[in-house]
Amino acid sequence: MAAGVAGLGLSWSSKLAQRPNSTPSPSSSSRSSGNCSIKMDVSVDEQKKTFTLKKSEQAFNIAKPEGFSKSRTVAGTGARCNLVHLTTAITTTSVFKLRLSKREFHGEWPLAVARSSRLPLLDQELMPGGVNSPVRAFKSVGGQPIIMDSVKGSKMWDIDGNEYIDYVGSWGPAIIGHADDEVLAALAETMKKGTSFGAPCLLENDLAEMVISAVPSIEMVRFVNSGTEACMGVIRLARAFTRREKIIKFEGCYHGHADPFLVKAGSGVATLGLPDSPGVPKGATYETLTSPFNDISTVKNLFDENKGEIAAVILEPVVGNSGFIAPKPGFLEDLQKITKENDALLIFDEVMTGFRLSYGGAQEYFGVTPDLTTLGKVIGGGLPVGAYGGRREIMEMVAPAGPMYQAGTLSGNPLAMAAGIHTLKRLKEPGSYEYLNKITSELVQGIVDAGKKAGHAFCGSYISGMFGFFFTEGPVYEFEDAKKSDTAKFAKFYRGMLEEGVYFAPSQFEAGFTSLAHTSEDIKRTIEAVEKVFRQV
């Protein structure tokens, strides 16, 4: 790696830190190294964490630094992102505004992200954080999110043409691989008839039949447009059916961004270290009780303290939103027993685990049938879909069959139904889940072995096509255990893996996903990269 270049970001960092006040003021920065030289006027506004770089007449020089064979536009560590931006800016406009958090200026940045970071800084002027869903931002791993251009099978390509083996799978839906030919063909065919009817279509029947015959708890289903909507609907239904208001959720479980669930939620809320979100009225979460995952005695106490008041217990049967956490043997069975004894409903949020752990989801995998279930991700085959369903007597409360109101302009949309149907058809073929299990076990075993061999406190586990690993000795039974992870080390590991062309979720607190399109060759390449990066972090 070009040693001289690494100083660039740090120099700017100290420049920012030294600014005595927040008034924008011109200053000058000139740095050089064997590979790169840069001279420009810098106007800093520390309070807003913005600064403006003005083109100077000096030549702006970028050479490919040693050790970055795959990078085509980069110029070293530390300030590589800025340099790429500047290259772009300098050819288009002479003044370019960068909005950067302090984090991005601190320390080493072995980031391949710079390869495709031309737009994110601009986007932050247009969209909060430059993203439309918080976990896509690289807040907890540093740097800018990579802008992707296309996906196929197990791979993604960024706007600079760099290839990544993808273990995010669009956060779950891409279980048969991205942009599957049959799904695309079905979409093209369906699209010929239009994109939305706002009236019933036969495809809704087809997907409903497939879901009902696959998922043990579901006798009737309602399609919606996202997992969030599914969870909102199911809680309203549980409250309507039981005529009670309190619910129990588990710390680190994420059930979408609706108000009642933003209490000790996982996913982006955990990744960004957010407390309960501002804007959620106290009244909305007042009836939400929480317990650590895998802690049946706390659940028992909550039932004892709130006799006759608890409508439902909702959980991710395998947690994917605080990293991957499996239930202890007997935990799901105990929950089923307690809810039954207390005339409350048991809800499995299978937005992530549905059709992923097995064709019938976690409930089939563990042999525990809840009263209600939510689905999403996989059943939309990459298009926006969610669903909730369960026992007929409960589902018949949903409007227009019953009085519990819930609706959606695009719900049951023919395109989403078609993508879901073709995705489930493929998953139903013999050997699908055996393959997912095999490929994921090779991956996780390889990663854990490499981590331990390199001397890191490390653990990891998986079920079928869902996995996770933590930079802690483990075991991880609940969110508090997951939080013991060395997240700084994870961030370094993450950035190193990007440099090697492997795309994991940009957070220690998210599960990973494999697909039917991942090959043994993908896994081999990933493990070789992991071994290399583990030696560096």
For position 118 contacting ligand PLP by CB under 6 A, the verdict is: no
Nearest to ligand PLP of 46, 349 (CB atom) = 349
Q: Is 49 exposed, middle or buried (0-12, 13-18, 19+ CB in 10 A)?
A: middle
Task: State the DSSP string of 12-73.
Answer: HHHHHHH--SSS-EEEEEEEE-SSEEEEEEEEEETTTTEEEEEE-SS--EE-PPTT-TT-SS
* Set 246, 377, 483, 492: catalytic member: 377
For position 349 contacting ligand PLP by CB under 6 A, the verdict is: yes
The DSSP output letter for 170 is G
Stretch that binds ligand PLP, among 13-21, 151-159, 248-256, 460-468 (CB under 6 A): 248-256
Nearest to ligand PLP of 82, 288 (CB atom) = 288
400 cis-preceded (ω within 30 degrees of 0): yes
CB of 134 to ligand PLP, least distance (A): 11
For position 352 contacting ligand PLP by CB under 6 A, the verdict is: yes
Residue with tokens 């073929």: 429
Distance of CA 118 to the CA centre of its chain: 23
256-295 residues in contact with ligand PLP (CB under 6 A) are 256, 267
* Set 45, 158, 180, 349: catalytic member: 349
Does residue 349 have an active-site annotation?
Answer: yes
The C-alpha atoms of residue 124 and residue 122 are separated, in whole angstroms, by 5
CB of 479 to ligand PLP, least distance (A): 14
451 and 472 in contact (C-beta within 8 Å)?
no
For position 231 contacting ligand PLP by CB under 6 A, the verdict is: yes
For position 226 contacting ligand PLP by CB under 6 A, the verdict is: yes
x/- contact string, 308-327, with ligand PLP (CB under 6 A)?
A: --------x---xx------
- Partners of 469 in the beta sheet? 460
Does residue 55 have an active-site annotation?
Answer: no
Residue with tokens 């839906």: 173
For position 45 contacting ligand PLP by CB under 6 A, the verdict is: no
Does residue 254 have an active-site annotation?
Answer: yes
CB of 42 to ligand PLP, least distance (A): 40
For position 98 contacting ligand PLP by CB under 6 A, the verdict is: no
For position 526 contacting ligand PLP by CB under 6 A, the verdict is: no
- 80: tokens are 């590589």
Helices 520-536 & 432-453 angle (0-180, nearest 10): 20
The C-alpha atoms of residue 526 and residue 502 are separated, in whole angstroms, by 7
Nearest to ligand PLP of 217, 226 (CB atom) = 226
- 88: tokens are 């772009």
The C-alpha atoms of residue 177 and residue 448 are separated, in whole angstroms, by 24
The C-alpha atoms of residue 181 and residue 202 are separated, in whole angstroms, by 22
For position 254 contacting ligand PLP by CB under 6 A, the verdict is: yes
CB atoms < 10 A from the CB of 50, how many?
14
x/- contact string, 173-212, with ligand PLP (CB under 6 A)?
A: ----------------------------------------
For position 414 contacting ligand PLP by CB under 6 A, the verdict is: no
510 and 167 in contact (C-beta within 8 Å)?
no
For position 227 contacting ligand PLP by CB under 6 A, the verdict is: yes
For position 423 contacting ligand PLP by CB under 6 A, the verdict is: no
For position 509 contacting ligand PLP by CB under 6 A, the verdict is: no
125-154 residues in contact with ligand PLP (CB under 6 A) are none
CB of 380 to ligand PLP, least distance (A): 9
CB atoms < 10 A from the CB of 54, how many?
13
418 and 187 in contact (C-beta within 8 Å)?
yes
Nearest to ligand PLP of 65, 389 (CB atom) = 389
x/- contact string, 382-401, with ligand PLP (CB under 6 A)?
A: ----x---------------
Residues binding ligand PLP (CB under 6 A): 171, 226-228, 231, 254-256, 267, 316, 320-321, 349, 351-352, 376, 386
Task: Report the catalytic residues.
Answer: 254, 349, 377
